[in-house]
Amino acid sequence: MTLTTRIIRRVSAFLFVVLTLWSVLFYLVMMDEITDEVDDAIDLYAENVITRYLAGKELPDTDNGTNNSYHIHQVTEEYARSHPHFSYTDETLYIADKHEAEPARVMKTIFRNATGEWMELTVITPTIEKKDLMESIAYWILGLYLAVVLTIIVVNAWVIRRSMRPLYRLLGWLDRYNINEQTEPIDNPTTVTEFQTLNEAIQRFSQRNRELFEQQKRFIGDASHELQTPIAICQNRLEMLCDADLTEEQMGEVFKTLQTLEHMSELNRSLLLLSKIDNRQYLDTIPVDMASLISQTQSEYRRMAIERKVKVTIGEDARPVWTMNPTLAKVLVHNLYRNALVHNLTEGDGELHIYIGTREISFTNTGSPVALDREHIFDRFYKEGGREGSSGLGLAIVKAICDTSGLVVGYDFVEGRHRFGVSVL
């Protein structure tokens, strides 16, 4: 939701509440004023009738054009003392001439005549139709509300759009900003102090990020190379030591040390690769024939598959060509292939089936009889079952490559087999 839309929605809701409350208050005040005027008129008319009645004069004619009607009748003293001497009510009366019911204001007053008898005067005067008045007010308020809201929408959209131009330009610059590339300086002239401060802060922030990013790249590269050299030296010295006259126990220890150094070297290379992927250093893309790449990988891992007694089959429905970085494509296929072999059955009779489709490739293998943890299987350094020799980075690298290359990787456990699939978005 845009800022303009959010502001307009909140202002519209606020206006709706305010205008609704105002219309209710307006209706109540107006009805109170109308009722007061009608009651005052009734009081004058009743006073005139009572004065004439007590003076023995001729009473007013009900057909005198005033729309008022009245009647006087005698009541008991008990009735007079138990009822208020003045009362006003709203009633609906049937008008025979019009054949319809009309609202009326009824006023009743009790007085004593010259002989001391109790008399009740009832005065009836037509009044306005409150329901019709309420509907009229509602229609007018609705029309006013729509007119005000439309005006506010147009004015707010125009004002906000013009006022937020520096923000939109800044957002556009941030969207184009790439820490791996040299981005043009912020060209966002504005006289608004807050936007000026924001421009300067983001400029400083981007510059610091670029400097830290370059330092991080240099550090990771230097650290990787510095670590790789002593590891290689240690491996060479241990290999030379193997040619010496060592006991079987000593040879075993040397062999275990070589395996540990090889694991350290692989872990170092994996971390360096992950760092480069995270830093988006593999941005060059070309069309990659995934079927040919899988076939090449199968040849490279044929010996490993034979040693582990894993039967490899390929189901090819198409020859997909995906646009991605060729180095990352090779690492992606190699890691999935190696993962399927390493985590296959350890006592032979293992199977690996590779499916190649137009928009998907998958690796399905036998292995552990229970499903893997879908929430953590692609986490870095996560090892299902603690398999020795695994760095816990193979599938994490696969996930990072997919995120960078616009691919989706998923895991399923179907009929006792583990399936890792990669598909194009």
User: Across the chain, what does the average pLDDT equal?
Assistant: 82
Residue that has been written with the tokens 């606020």 in this structure: 14
Query: Could you read off the pLDDT of 111-170 as tens digits, one per residue?
Result: 888 888 899 999 988 887 777 777 787 788 778 778 887 887 788 778 878 888 888 888
Q: Which of 31-40, 150-159, 180-189 has the lowest mean pLDDT?
A: 180-189
> Of 137, 65, 145, 74, whose CA–CA distance to 111 is shortest?
74
Return the closest-CA partner of residue 60 out of 128, 105, 123: 123
Q: How far is CA 6 from the centre of its chain?
A: 13
- Tell me: pLDDT of 285 over 60: yes
Q: What is the mean pLDDT of residues 286-302?
A: 91
CA dist., res. 424 & res. 322, Å (int): 8
Ranked by mean pLDDT, the top range of 233-237, 261-265, 327-331 is 327-331
* Token digits of residue 123: 């005065």
Distances in whole angstroms, Cα of residue 231 to Cα of each of 31, 195, 269: 95, 53, 12
The order of strands in the sheet holding 86-95 is: 69-74, 118-126, 100-112, 86-95
Query: Which of the 8 DSSP states describes residue 372?
Result: -
What's the token pair of residue 117? Answer: 């008898």
- Burial bucket for residue 396 (CB in 10 Å: 0-12, 13-18, 19+): buried
Q: Which residues contact 161 (CB under 8 A, 6 or more apart)?
A: 4
Structure tokens that stand for 387 in this block: 């398999």
**pLDDT, tens only, 202-229:** 888 888 887 787 777 777 667 776 777 7
Band of the pLDDT at 293, cuts 50, 70, 90?
Answer: very high
How do strand 321-324 and strand 360-365 relate by DSSP bridges? unpaired
Assess contact for 410 and 421: CB atoms under 8 A: yes
Portion of the chain with pLDDT greater than 90, in percent: 16
CA–chain centroid gap for 33, Å, is: 50
Planar angle of CA 88, 89, 95, nearest 5 degrees: 120
pLDDT in tens, 301-336: 999 888 888 999 999 888 899 999 998 999 999 999
Percent of the chain with pLDDT over 70: 92
Q: Tell me, what's the pLDDT at 411?
A: 92
The CA–CA distances, whole Å, from 398 to 202, 375, 378 equal 33, 15, 8
Q: Give the C-alpha separation, 274 to 394, whole Å.
A: 10
Q: What is the mean pLDDT of residues 373-393?
A: 70
Place of tokens 């499916």: 355
pLDDT at 369 over 80: yes
**DSSP labels, 299-339:** HHTHHHHHHTTEEEEEEES---EEEE-HHHHHHHHHHHHHH
- More reliable by pLDDT, 169 or 353: 353
pLDDT band at 63 (very low <50, low <70, confident <90, very high): low
In the chain, what are the domain boundaries? Answer: 3-150, 194-278, 286-424
Rg (CA), the chain: 46
Whether 46 and 123 have beta carbons less than 8 Å apart is answered as yes
286-424 to CATH, choices 3.40.50.300, 3.20.20.70, 3.40.50.11900, 3.30.565.10: 3.30.565.10
The full DSSP string for 104-145 is EEEEEEEEE-TTS-EEEEEEEEE---HHHHHHHHHHHHHHHH
Q: Rounded to an integer, what distance in angstroms lies between the CA atom of residue 339 and that of residue 384?
A: 12
Q: Is residue 412 helix, strand or coil?
A: strand
* 94 pLDDT more than 90: no
- How many Cβ atoms sit within 10 Å of the Cβ of residue 71? 11
Over 80: is that where the pLDDT of 197 sits?
Answer: yes
